[in-house]
Amino acid sequence: MSDRKLTVLLAAESAYGPTNNCIGIGAELVRMGHRVVFAAEESWAGKIEPLGIEENLVSMAPPPEEEAAAGQVWIDFIRDTAPEFRKPTIEQIATFIEPVWRQLLDAAVYAEPQFAAIVDAVQPDVIVQDNVSAFPALRSAGRPFVRLVSCQPLEMNGPMLPPAMSGLPAGDSTQWQAWRDEYARACRGVWNDYNAFSLDSGAPALTDLEFMYEGDENIYIYPAVADYIDQRPLDSTWHRVQSSVRATEQPIEVPAHILDGEGSLVYLSLGSLGGSDLDLMKRLTGFLAESPHRFIVSKGPRADEYELPDNMWGAGMVPQTTLLEKVDLVITHGGNNTTCESFHFGKPMIVLPLFWDQYDNAQRVDELGFGRRLDTYRVEGPELRSTLNGLLADTQLRARMAENGRAIQAENGVRREAEIIHQLGMRS
C-alpha cells in the first residue's frame, strides 16, 4: 500500500497489445493501492472492470447505420486492404500508412470532447497513454503524463536507424533516405492537420512528422538483446521494459494428442487481422499439415469458416500467454505484443509480417538471428517447413532464447511499469 492513493487515468489504442498492456499495469496499480480509471474504446465494455479498474467508455466514431456482426470490422478491413500488404513497404506509404494516420486523426477529433470530459470528471493525478497517435485532451490537462510505446522501438527513430515501418535492415542504409523522403511527401499533409488540431485543442505542437507527444516519463517495451541502444541513445525520461506480460489464469483445453504427442509443439497466430484473411490462414495451415510437428492455432474471427488438419488444434482466441511457455517455436505476424512475449518465454520465431511495425520486428528478429523473416504472401510450403525444421533443430538458438527469456522474466516488467507511474505521481 502506498503512502498516498493516486488516481491514474489510462488510455490506449483499441488494439489488443496496447489495451492488454494497460490492463496489466492498471491491475498492478490497483494492487499497490491506487485508483485506476481506464478511458477505453467502447468495444472493451465489461472486460476491464472485473479487474478492479473503473471503465469510462469512449466512442471513436459515430455509430454505424447497421450494427456489424462480431469480428466483421476485421473481415471487411482485410477484404479491402490485404492487397496493400503484398506491396513493398515504400509503396504502402501513400495507399495504406497515410490513410491510417488520417483515420486516427478523425477518431481523435471525434473523441476529443469525450476525453476532456473524462479528465474533468476523474481529476487524475497521472495520465498514461499507450497509442501511436495523440489525444490532445490528455496532454493539455496539465497533469503528469506518461507515454507508453507498445510498438517496435523504431517508433523513437534517429538518423542512425532505418525508418519505422520500413522493414529495412539496420546494417544497410542505402534505401533509408528514399523511404524517408516518400514518407514525408505522402504524410506531410495529414501531419499538418494533426498538428493544427493539437494546437487548436490547447496541447503542445507535435514534433515534425511525429503523431504522438513525449511524456514526463516514457516507457517502451522491447527486449534488451534486440534493442537499438547503441544507434539511438535516449534521455533519462525514457525507460525500457523488456516485456509486459499480463498473468492470466485461463484454462488450457488443448487435446492430449496435440499437447503431448510426438514432434515439436508450435504456436501459430497472425493476430486478429491476419486471422481474418481466410485464404492466408488456409494456405499456411495447409502447408503445415505436411509437417511432422503439432500446432496450436489462434484461428481469428473467422474460426468457424475453416477446419484444421489433424496435427493442429485451435480456436478463435486462445490463451496466448498461458500457451507460449509450453511451445517450442512461434509463427507470428510480428506484432510487438507477440514478439516481446515470445522473447519473454524464450521462443525462436518465424515472422510473417502484414503491416505497420510488424516488418520492423520481422527484420530485427531475422538480422539478429533470433528467428527468420519470410514473405507472408509468397512463401511456399517447402520453404516454410524447411525453415521451421531448421530453427527447431538449432539447439544453440533454442538455448540462447531460453537464457534470454529467463533474464527478461526476472525483470517483472509489469511491476516496473507500475512503479515508474507510481513514482511520477508521488513526486508531482
Looking at residue 70, its pLDDT comes to 45
Total number of domains in the chain: 2
Do both 274 and 224 map to the same domain? no
Q: Report the C-alpha gap between 45 and 34 in whole angstroms.
A: 21
- pLDDT tens digits, 380-400: 999 999 999 999 999 999 999
Return the SS3 of 269: strand
Are the beta carbons of 368 and 360 closer than 8 angstroms? no
Q: Report the C-alpha gap between 185 and 93 in whole angstroms.
A: 9
Q: Report the C-alpha gap between 325 and 416 in whole angstroms.
A: 22
Instruction: Give the rounded percent of residues in the chain with a pLDDT score beyond 70.
Output: 96
Burial bucket for residue 46 (CB in 10 Å: 0-12, 13-18, 19+): exposed
Confidence of residue 55 (pLDDT cuts 50, 70, 90): very high
Mean predicted confidence (pLDDT) in 400-410: 96
- Angle among Cα 344, 387, 335 to the nearest 5 degrees reads 40
- pLDDT of 368 over the 50 cut: yes
Do both 316 and 395 map to the same domain? yes
Looking at residue 1, its pLDDT comes to 43
Mean predicted confidence (pLDDT) in 401-428: 94
Do both 403 and 417 map to the same domain? no
- If you search the block for the grid coordinates 503512502, which residue do you land on? 3
- pLDDT tens digits, 115-151: 999 999 999 999 999 999 999 999 999 999 999 999 9
- pLDDT of 53 over the 90 cut: yes
Do both 420 and 405 map to the same domain? no
More confident of the two residues 149 and 74: 149
Do both 394 and 421 map to the same domain? no
Do both 403 and 415 map to the same domain? no
Looking at residue 194, its pLDDT comes to 98
Q: Which helix (H) or strand (E) holds 219?
A: strand 217-221
Question: Where residue 103 sits, what CATH number does that domain have?
Answer: 3.40.50.2000
Do both 276 and 223 map to the same domain? no
More confident of the two residues 75 and 101: 101
Do both 268 and 239 map to the same domain? no
Do both 225 and 319 map to the same domain? no
Q: Report the C-alpha gap between 245 and 337 in whole angstroms.
A: 9
Comparing CA positions, the residue from 151, 134, 149 lying closest to residue 195 is 134
The cell numbers describing 82, all together, are 490485404
Return the SS3 of 339: helix
What range does the domain containing 131 cover? 7-245+411-427
Q: Report the C-alpha gap between 365 and 55 in whole angstroms.
A: 36
Q: Report the C-alpha gap between 373 and 332 in whole angstroms.
A: 10
Among 71-75, 181-185, 345-349, the minimum mean pLDDT is found in 71-75
Do both 173 and 61 map to the same domain? yes
| Strand-by-strand arrangement of the 294-298 sheet | 312-315, 294-298, 265-269, 329-332, 349-351, 371-373
Residues in the chain: 428
Do both 219 and 295 map to the same domain? no
* Sequence-separated (6 or more) residues with CB below 8 Å from residue 183: 93, 97, 163, 209
C-alpha neighbours within 13 Å on the C-beta side of residue 315: 9
Domain-located, residue 250: no
Looking at residue 31, its pLDDT comes to 93
Instruction: Spell out a b/e string for 257-279, using b for 16 or more CB atoms within 10 Å of the CB, else e.
Output: ebbeeeebbbbbbbbbbbbbbbe
Q: Report the C-alpha gap between 263 and 211 in whole angstroms.
A: 46
Domain-located, residue 121: yes
- pLDDT of 168 over the 50 cut: yes
Comparing CA positions, the residue from 375, 369, 344, 343 lying closest to residue 171 is 369
* The model's pTM: 0.93
Do both 55 and 166 map to the same domain? yes
Looking at residue 2, its pLDDT comes to 47
Confidence of residue 68 (pLDDT cuts 50, 70, 90): low
| Strand-by-strand arrangement of the 145-149 sheet | 54-58, 35-41, 7-12, 126-130, 145-149, 217-221, 238-241
- pLDDT tens digits, 292-342: 999 999 998 888 899 999 999 999 888 888 899 999 999 999 999 999 999
Mean predicted confidence (pLDDT) in 148-177: 95
Domain-located, residue 251: no
- pLDDT of 79 over the 80 cut: no
Q: Report the C-alpha gap between 338 and 76 in whole angstroms.
A: 23
State in Å, rounded, how far the first CA of the chain is from the last one: 18
Domain-located, residue 164: yes
Looking at residue 73, its pLDDT comes to 58
Q: Mind spelling out the 3-state secondary structure of 364-394?
A: HHHHCCCEEECCCCCCCHHHHHHHHHHHHHC
Among 17-21, 148-152, 280-284, the minimum mean pLDDT is found in 17-21
DSSP 254: -
The string of DSSP codes covering 111-161 is HHHHHHHHHHHH--SEEEEE-SS--HHHHTT-S-EEEEE-S-GGGS--TTS
C-alpha neighbours within 13 Å on the C-beta side of residue 331: 31
Domain-located, residue 262: yes
Domain-located, residue 2: no
- Quote the mean pLDDT of the chain: 92
Domain-located, residue 367: yes
Are the beta carbons of 98 and 186 closer than 8 angstroms? yes
Are the beta carbons of 23 and 51 closer than 8 angstroms? yes
Domain-located, residue 1: no
Q: Report the C-alpha gap between 23 and 14 in whole angstroms.
A: 12
